[in-house]
Structure 1
Amino acid sequence: MLQGQLFSKTILPTLLHEYAKQQITWHQQQGDQVVVVSSSLDVYLKGWCQQQGIDLICNQLEVRAGRYTGELYQGDCGYAEKARRVQQQYSLSDFELVYAYGDSPNDHAMLALADKKFYQWQEIKS
């Protein structure tokens, strides 16, 4: 088993904030489309998101000749790039209400796209 897959099965679930787990479950029960947007790596997020039925936008490691190069494919998915990739992949106007959750300054541009935004587990009133 690849190290990233092992991490996604054994370690990643223990790192998730309890509020995040609750919100993911709540949104899924509402029938909402849930997307993890992260500047972390696909090698360990992809498996977990697939297991949870969650879409993923994140940093992807570049692969050449079947080997990871250590470089990021399409550059870093952080700060304003998070918002750009969300808008590139989804037409936000198609959604009645857009929620966003973030816990670092890296998330501010993405949070600005949302109707309901939560920073460090507290709702930000616009």
Structure 2
Amino acid sequence: MKPSIAFFDFDGTITTKDTLFEIIRFHKGSAALYAGMTLLSPALVAFKMKLISTQRMKEIVFRFFFGGSSADAFRIRCAEFCAQRLPRLVKENALQAIRQHLVQGHQVAVVTASAEDWVEPWCSSLGIVCIGTRLEVHNALITGKIQGLNCNGPEKVTRIKQTFDLDGYEEIYAYGDTSGDRPMLGIAKYGYFRKF
């Protein structure tokens, strides 16, 4: 019999809030977060007016807060975030659903638009796969750009299919909470929207 697999979105599905702002707060402090977002407000307005793509907006934010940072130091701090801050943001019923899939012998993967840097350590602690947005690194420094495409919408399905042969699974489950998760839910036999 073929195994089953479950795909979980991260921000808003597993967590209570968007972790991008929380990771900035953890690295830089609340004052720096608010000051930075104030300085970036013209770009944020353009984004809200759909004059800037989601990927471009994220790159503006990444470059402002982390551009030129040591990639190794950033990842170490992200691992600390996963250990110290992230557990307080995780929805207990979502975590229980993940554990239930694991108990049943299902493969589990988190598929997220957040950067793998601050999601993968948490996934590893549970023994599950992390598929996320990848930050570009050049000469061991974060450039602020995204490597490839932001892992959202159709790109979630593309990345899933690059990682797993879906024909090898009996049943596919998927959990999400935004329109960016709809394509992923569409490939599942059991797709759950805002279940938690």
How many aligned residue pairs are there? 122
* Pair member with larger Rg: 2
Q: Does structure 2 retain, via aligned residues, the 8 Å contact 1:5–1:44?
A: yes
Q: Deviations over 1:34-58 (max 9, x none)?
A: 0000000111111111111010110
The gaps in structure 2 that reach 5 residues or longer are 1-72
The one-letter code sitting in structure 1 at the alignment partner of 2:120 is K
CA drift at 1:105: 1.3
Confirm or deny that 1:4 pairs with 2:100.
no
Relative contact order: is structure 1 or structure 2 higher (C-alpha 8 Å, sep ≥ 6)? Answer: 2
Which structure's residues are more often strand, by fraction?
1
Aligned to 2:184: 110
Question: In the alignment, which of 104, 125, 135 is matched to residue 61 of structure 1?
Answer: 135
Question: Quick one: which amino acid aligns to residue 100 of structure 2?
Answer: W
Name the aligned partner's letter for residue 154 of structure 2: A
The match for 1:31 is 105
AA partner of residue 60 (structure 1): R
Q: Report % sequence identity.
A: 34
* TM-score normalized by the length of structure 1: 0.91
Q: Which has the higher helix share?
A: 2
CA distance in 2, matches of 1:14, 1:67: 29
Q: Give me the CA root mean square deviation.
A: 1.3
How far apart are the structure 1 equivalents of 2:129 and 2:85?
A: 20
Give the deviation of 1:11 after TM superposition: 1.6
Deviations 1:24-76 (A, max 9, x none): 00011011110000000111111111111010110011111111111111221
Instruction: Return the alpha-carbon distance in structure 2 between the equivalents of residues 121 and 64 of structure 1.
Output: 39
Unmatched 5+ residue regions in structure 1? none
